[in-house]
Structure formats: structure tokens, C-alpha cells
Amino acid sequence: KESYVIFICTQDPFGKGLPVYTFRSVCSEDGTLFLDDKSYKVFYNVGAYGKEDEPELSALLEYLCERRATSGFTQHIDALVEKAKRNEKFRSWYMSLNIWKDDLLREGSQLGEKIGFERGVAAGVRRGRRDGIAAGAHQKARETAKLMQRESCSVDFIQRMTGLSEAEIEKL
């Protein structure tokens, strides 16, 4: 059984100016190998309705883009839309759907903020650890250099052993 996922886009999703883009599952490594799952993803670019050769599809895309009914089918759709607008039960349902959608968006936004905050904290902890380790290692190198100076080791030898610069060793 074939399955379709349909996207109706008010702007060209791929920038090629086509009214319809149809995709099938294809192997990324071998473009000649198709997954025979009979699934299709179809993107309709309503703004390119004038380029569509099939008259009914062109009329539908034009209706979705311009809200202008130019065929029997789109006139029928337009009449149904107008009827739905006047139906109080439908309007209530539609409003509740919008409220539900807004709630989902708000919850999704809050979850995204929480995840982002947690990731930021984790990244900060990692960076703090890394910086702390580096600072500790540098401090230990300075302490070692001081001890080596007391033992009259050469600056060149101290540099090789600690990785500190000559100027930094002389400041100790």
C-alpha cells in the first residue's frame, strides 16, 4: 500500500521554482538503489501554480495561494470553507484547537529552554573543570620552577622541565 506525506508550502521549499517536488526513499551511498516501501514525500509549492501543467492541481494551488476559486473543485472547497466559517460548533472547535496548539508550543518552548539551560550548565561545568585543571597545572609548574631556582637550576633547564617562558621564570 502506498503512503504519502504531503506538505503544502506557501514558499518554495527548495528554491527551484517547481510547483511539485516528489521524493522517494533512496540509498545515500548508491543513488540507483531505492527502498521499495512505496512511501512518498510530496511538497506542493503553491506560489508556482502557474507552472503546473495539470489544470485541476494548478487551480488548487492557485486557490491555496491567492484564495481565488477558478475551477469547479476549488469553488466547492471555497463554499465548504465559507460554510465552516459560519458554523458556530466548528468555530468553537477550531478555537479550542488553536488554544491547544498554543499550549503545545508554549510547553515545547519551555522544554527547549530547560534543555538548553541544562546543556549550557553542563558545558560550563566542563569548561570550568578544563580551565581549573589548566590553571592548577600552571600553578604547579610555577611552584616547581621556584623550587628549581632555589636549587640553582639553569633557566633553560627550568623552561624545559616546566614549560614556562623565560620571562615568567625571571618574575618568580
pLDDT at 117: 92
pLDDT at 106: 87
pLDDT of 100 above 90: no
Distance CA 77, CA 74 (A): 5
Tell me what pLDDT residue 125 has.
92
113 band by pLDDT with thresholds 50, 70 and 90: very high
**Over the stretch 29-62, which tens digit does the pLDDT of each residue have?**
998 998 989 999 999 999 999 999 999 999 999 9
Reported confidence tier of residue 12, pLDDT bands at 50, 70, 90:
very high
Write out pLDDT tens, residues 144-153: 999 999 999 9
pLDDT at 16 over 90: yes
- E-strand stretches of the chain: 3-9, 20-24, 39-45
DSSP conformation letters of the chain: --EEEEEEESS-SSSS--SEEEEE-B-SS-TT-B--S-EEEEEEEGGGGGG-SSHHHHHHHHHHHH----SHHHHHHHHHHHHHHH-HHHHHHHHHHHHHHHHHHHHHHHHHHHHHHHHHHHHHHHHHHHHHHHHHHHHHHHHHHHHHHHTT--HHHHHHHH---HHHHHH-
Residue 93's pLDDT band (boundaries 50, 70, 90)?
A: confident
In the chain, where are the structural domains located?
Answer: 3-70, 111-171
Give the confidence band of 142 by pLDDT, cuts at 50, 70, 90. very high
